[in-house]
Amino acid sequence: MKIYTKQGDKGTTAVYTHEVLRLSKDDILLDCYGTLDELNANLGLIVAKLRAANSQTNELTSEWLDTLQTCQQQLFAIGFAISDDDKLHLSSVDKLEVHIDKMQSKLPPQTSFILPGGSEIAAQIHVARTITRRAERILVSLSKQHEVNEIALTYLNRLSDFLFVLARYCNFVSNIKDISV
């Protein structure tokens, strides 16, 4: 099977929801899908970097790696949830909150705003966090035109919180202090 179909050469593509839609490639639905894909690719990069760092330091448990890979799967579920409410569940949000609380219990209290950065991996996680926020904004705009599962919005909001705390946690286990404003 060839990867190219030539169906999108004129700026449209097929989207499979309850029905097959042919949309312009600049449609907000495709913008949302593309941003979720960009976020997913960034999470994949983070997983690869954490695996490499973890093999040298053993500072990060496989739990965080597994959680990030679960987040990647949930991003696909969000794409499906835009049209189908059965693919995403509130328990996914609950799991992120458990991980956030677990990491925060080990971190010093946050007393000021924190600039993105510190270690290379923390900086990369902050990039993913900002993409998550963009995806959330696009999903809000999309929800004004298409039916969107509310859990998708909640999940993206919590995912950005999770990534913020994970970035702080990565700096913490690397003995790098937060960069405060």
In a domain, 6, yes or no: no
In a domain, 16, yes or no: no
In tens, the pLDDT along 32-49 reads 999 999 999 999 999 998
Cα dist from 117 to 42, 67, 88, 170, whole Å: 16, 21, 32, 11
Is a pLDDT exceeding 60 seen at residue 91? yes
In a domain, 20, yes or no: no
Share above pLDDT 70 across residues of the chain, in percent, rounded to a whole number:
90
Q: Give the residue, 165 or 26, on which the prediction is more confident.
A: 165
Cα dist from 58 to 54, 106, 153, whole Å: 5, 17, 34
Two tokens at 107? 């971190």
| Full residue range of the structural domain in which residue 42 is found | 25-180
Confidence of residue 57 (pLDDT cuts 50, 70, 90): low
Residue 140 has a pLDDT of: 96
In a domain, 4, yes or no: no
Q: Span 70-93, mean pLDDT?
A: 79
In a domain, 10, yes or no: no
Q: Give the residue, 167 or 80, on which the prediction is more confident.
A: 167
How many domains would you assign to the chain?
Answer: 1
In tens, the pLDDT along 108-130 reads 999 899 999 999 999 999 999 99
Is a pLDDT exceeding 80 seen at residue 58? no
Q: What does the mean pLDDT of the chain come to?
A: 88
In a domain, 14, yes or no: no
CB under 8 Å to 42, separation ≥6 — which residues?
124, 127, 128, 131
CATH of the domain at 61: 1.20.1200.10
In a domain, 15, yes or no: no
Q: What is the rounded distance in angstroms from the CA atom of residue 123 to the CA atom of residue 107?
A: 17
Q: What is the rounded distance in angstroms from the CA atom of residue 163 to the CA atom of residue 74?
A: 14
Task: Assess contact for 148 and 79: CB atoms under 8 A.
Answer: no
In a domain, 66, yes or no: yes
